Structure 1
Amino acid sequence: MTRIGFHASHEQFAPSRLLALVRDAERAGDDAALGAAADQWRQATAPGDVVWDLEQPEDFDRLSDPGDEDALRAAVLIGSDPRGMAERLARIAAVGFDELYVHHVGLDQDAFLARAASQLLPALRKALA
């Protein structure tokens, strides 16, 4: 997911309005991340006790519910904030995992890899330290 930056200052907006604009922008990023997960990983919402018996992609489509936001968030780590994602990954690692593999479920892999290299991985190293 490509993140769109913006600049706003208290000279342009009252502090409460500025905070509301920033939060709206963050929600828009999270909505885009949720949309990518629903589009590309909707099969993650299929019931876990039956997926091993499914044979065709249509079977996953029939049993998945990309509109079930809670099921999608339970199956896929979704977010647009690299620091927040790094903290979530660090909590997972703290359980005792030796390795973490991070995969972007969206289609824009180049943007993800660039952002992971410049923001996510440094934040993850810091969170794990």
Structure 2
Amino acid sequence: MTACGYFLSCEEFTPAQLLDQARLAEAAGFTHLAVSDHFHPWNEAQGSSPFVWGLLGALSQVTDLPVTTLVTCPTVRLHPAVTAQAAATADVLLPGGLRLGVGTGEALNEHILGDHWPPFAVRAEMLAEAVAVMRELFTGGQVSHRGVHYTVENARLYTPPTSRPLPVYVSAFGPRAAEAAAGFADGLVTMTPDRELIGRYRAAGGEGPVIGGVKVCWGPDREQAVGTVHRLWPSELLPGELAQVLPTPRHFEQATELVTEEMVASAVTCGDDPEEHVERLHGYAEAGFDEVYVGQIGQAQQGFFAFYREQVLPRLR
């Protein structure tokens, strides 16, 4: 059975709102939480972007659910040794533990210190090395490393993770990336119910769970819900590598001028028909996902959680 979790979107909500959502999600019957890790939101309308590692500490005080980062980039903005220390501390604090979802990142968040933004092949190489460094640090032993991209000297986590080993899930959106992830990931992160991609991951030896997320917009007025998605998350419909290479929220706003409300209506589950919400989640289960995280777009959070508690989650069980 595919587990259903709730997706905390740091790009759209303040820390206080995210903590309220975590409480409401657990009370509604969601079994897991995921949280995004950004420096910038995708656009000005979203208007938020708290530091995920501070938020995870606060989450440890309001929920017992396991939490997964979807996803952290441990290669440019933060050195993998610093990311490892942050993840280990979060795992110790969270009653349900942390699962570290990682990816090659977006220029939107990673270019802020003036570092060169490498092409994907280099970023993938950096990610594999970063994961190896973090795994060694998670053991609690002293680590020295001189690799192609990272140097670590005499580093030791004196507060190592409770989870041994701490799971590291790797994000992949194409077949070759999924096959590469199978070689070093404890699980696969991908956002669309693509049977072929998951099959390539499994065929390449990937044995860990497959997890992903989906945005919805519950509301009694479907047309209004479509408008909310179009205003806040048109970036969900950008094709190809645009999401990885555009550097600022303003660039995303320019690119998403091409996204229409009709495109949103055909791609995103909006409104209050439980059949549509259940069908969307069943699509992930049928594709082979082990966990799927639902994120509610917009401020109608109380209504969303009541709707899922009463009309959606019971049917998924």
TM range, smaller chain: 0.5 to 0.7
Deviations 1:92-124 (A, max 9, x none): 211100011111112221221121111121233
In structure 1, distance between residues paired with 2:259 and 2:271: 16
Q: What corresponds to 2:251 in structure 1? A: 59
1:113 corresponds to which of 292, 299, 305: 305
Q: What corresponds to 2:262 in structure 1? A: 69
TM-score by length of 2: 0.29
SS at match of 1:101: strand
The structure where strand makes up a greater share of residues is: 2
In structure 1, distance between residues paired with 2:228 and 2:271: 11
In structure 2, distance between residues paired with 1:93 and 1:77: 16
Q: 1:33 to 1:117 in 2, by over 3 A?
A: same
SS at match of 1:47: coil
Q: 1:50 to 1:66 in 2, by over 3 A?
A: closer
Q: What corresponds to 1:87 in structure 2? A: 279
Q: What corresponds to 1:47 in structure 2? A: 239
By how many angstroms is 1:56 displaced? 0.8
In structure 1, distance between residues paired with 2:262 and 2:308: 24
Q: Report if aligned partners of 1:87, 1:124 keep a CA contact under 8 Å in 2.
A: no
In structure 2, distance between residues paired with 1:48 and 1:68: 20
SS at match of 1:70: helix
Q: Report if aligned partners of 1:86, 1:120 keep a CA contact under 8 Å in 2.
A: yes
The structure where helix makes up a greater share of residues is: 1
Q: 1:60 to 1:43 in 2, by over 3 A?
A: same
By how many angstroms is 1:46 displaced? 2.6
Aligned residues with identical type, % of pairs: 33
Greater CA radius of gyration, 1 or 2? 2
SS at match of 1:48: coil
TM-score by length of 1: 0.65
By how many angstroms is 1:2 displaced? 4.2
Q: What corresponds to 2:224 in structure 1? A: 32
Q: 1:77 to 1:44 in 2, by over 3 A?
A: same
- Which fold has the larger relative contact order, with Cα–Cα distance below 8 Å and residues 6 or more apart in sequence? 1
Q: 1:84 to 1:45 in 2, by over 3 A?
A: closer
In structure 2, distance between residues paired with 1:67 and 1:88: 21
Q: 1:44 to 1:72 in 2, by over 3 A?
A: farther
